[in-house]
Amino acid sequence: MAQLTFREAIARGIAQEMRRDPSVVMLGEDVGAAGGVFKGTVGLLEEFGPRRVRDTPISEQAIVGAAMGAAMTGLRPIAEIMFADFFAVCWDIVVNQIAKSRYMTDGQVSFPLVIRSGNGGGLRFGAQHSQSVENWAMMIPGLKVVVPANARDVIGLMAAAVRDPDPVVFLEAKALYPTKADVPDGDIVDELGSARVLREGDDATVLALGSMVPRALAAAERLAGEGIHVSVLDVRSLIPLDTATILREVARTGRLFTVEENPRVLGWGAEVAAVVTEEIFYDLDGPVVRITTPHVPLPAADALEDLAIPSVERIATTIAKALND
């Protein structure tokens, strides 16, 4: 057992898969000698060399285009887009080519590639470098979408993503990069589409993703001091979505709260709310409540950014008010 930061776990997860499979390659801006702008690829160039760890020009289109071509010819590339906001620059290739070409070739060509990126706010980077874009990727048929919330899951979900035959968007919450967690020794391999119950309670079910997971857990701890006991479920994977675990937990408690960093309109919680109300409406004891970032560009000012993104206090207060009304 070792204690790793989130960013160290990224490098370990990639290295685990590169050691196992020589067809796995890494490419992106400054991923080689610099070890990544967020230091998520430290040590990879030294271990695997410049043929498998490639620095690229400052061009998101070149990065994902090269990854697509590499996947078509038998490699399993991991491509880094530095900030998730920059998906907007290469979205045509991701959406209209990578996501659709396996379908359009009737499976004759597969695209086993991972596109990983720093996602979300909390670091004062402003509106163009702080967006939480998981809902962008979730809406595209042909893409799988995973969002780890701790160092251990980074490794396990990276392994699952690299080994998957389809393209996977792997979003890393930038606010979590310095956080630490105990990580078991040896290889770690998870499966996509598997949520995890982190805390059990009978009064409500709270779903959270990425950087909102530790905040939801802290809010649950605060609520327990008030006599309110909630389950906290880490969604982990948006596509595929673990609806079986979500529905089971919500049916058991009768109340559902989602905690989302993405802007409110068309956030992932809206889809979950729709599934829950369609499938187990009569098991609900009250309306689904979504706790989200408002539908605004994210401010760079400390106080305003903190106000926009769901905080522990806002999560706890919203849940307590809804359950006590």
C-alpha separations of 165 from 79, 161, 192, 313 in Å = 15, 9, 12, 41
Q: Is residue 20 part of a domain?
A: yes
* Residue found under tokens 């979900």: 157
CA separation for the pair 228, 15 (Å, rounded): 42
| The dihedral sign for the CA sequence 8, 14, 17, 18 | negative
Beta bridge partners of 245: none
Looking at the fold, whether 255 and 315 belong to one and the same domain comes out as yes
CA separation for the pair 67, 77 (Å, rounded): 6
Looking at the fold, whether 239 and 159 belong to one and the same domain comes out as no
Burial label for 46, CB within 10 Å (0-12, 13-18, 19+), is exposed
Looking at the fold, whether 130 and 205 belong to one and the same domain comes out as no
Range of the domain at 147: 2-183
Burial label for 295, CB within 10 Å (0-12, 13-18, 19+), is exposed
Q: Is residue 189 part of a domain?
A: no
Q: What is the dihedral of CA 158, 143, 30, 159, to 10 degrees?
A: 10
3-state secondary structure of 72: helix
**Residue 259 in contact with residue 288, Cβ under 8 Å?**
no
- pLDDT tens-digit profile of 227-280? 999 999 999 999 999 999 999 999 999 999 999 999 999 999 999 999 999 999
- pLDDT tens-digit profile of 154-189? 999 999 999 999 999 999 999 999 999 999 999 999
Exactly one of 8, 17, 129, 134 is catalytic; which is it? 129
Show Cβ contacts of residue 237 under 8 Å, excluding neighbours closer than 6 positions. 144, 145, 146, 147, 157, 192, 193, 194, 195
Q: Is residue 57 part of a domain?
A: yes
The pLDDT of residue 325 is 79
260 is annotated as an active-site residue: no
The pLDDT of residue 218 is 98
The pLDDT of residue 249 is 98
Looking at the fold, whether 230 and 141 belong to one and the same domain comes out as no
Looking at the fold, whether 258 and 161 belong to one and the same domain comes out as no
Q: Is residue 175 part of a domain?
A: yes
> What single letter denotes the amino acid at residue 197?
V
CA separation for the pair 266, 252 (Å, rounded): 26
313 is annotated as an active-site residue: no
Looking at the fold, whether 141 and 208 belong to one and the same domain comes out as no
CATH number at residue 208: 3.40.50.920
Return the structure tokens found at 176: 């979590």
CA separation for the pair 240, 161 (Å, rounded): 12
pTM to 2 decimals? Answer: 0.96
**Residue where a domain stops, chosen among 183, 205, 240:** 183
Q: How many domains does the chain have?
A: 2
Q: Which residue numbers in the chain have pLDDT < 50? A: none
**Residue where a domain stops, chosen among 183, 208, 227:** 183
Q: Is residue 302 part of a domain?
A: yes
The pLDDT of residue 5 is 97
Residues shown for the chain: 325
Q: Give φ, ψ of 217 to 5 degrees.
A: -65, -40
The pLDDT of residue 201 is 97
**Residue where a domain stops, chosen among 183, 204, 232:** 183
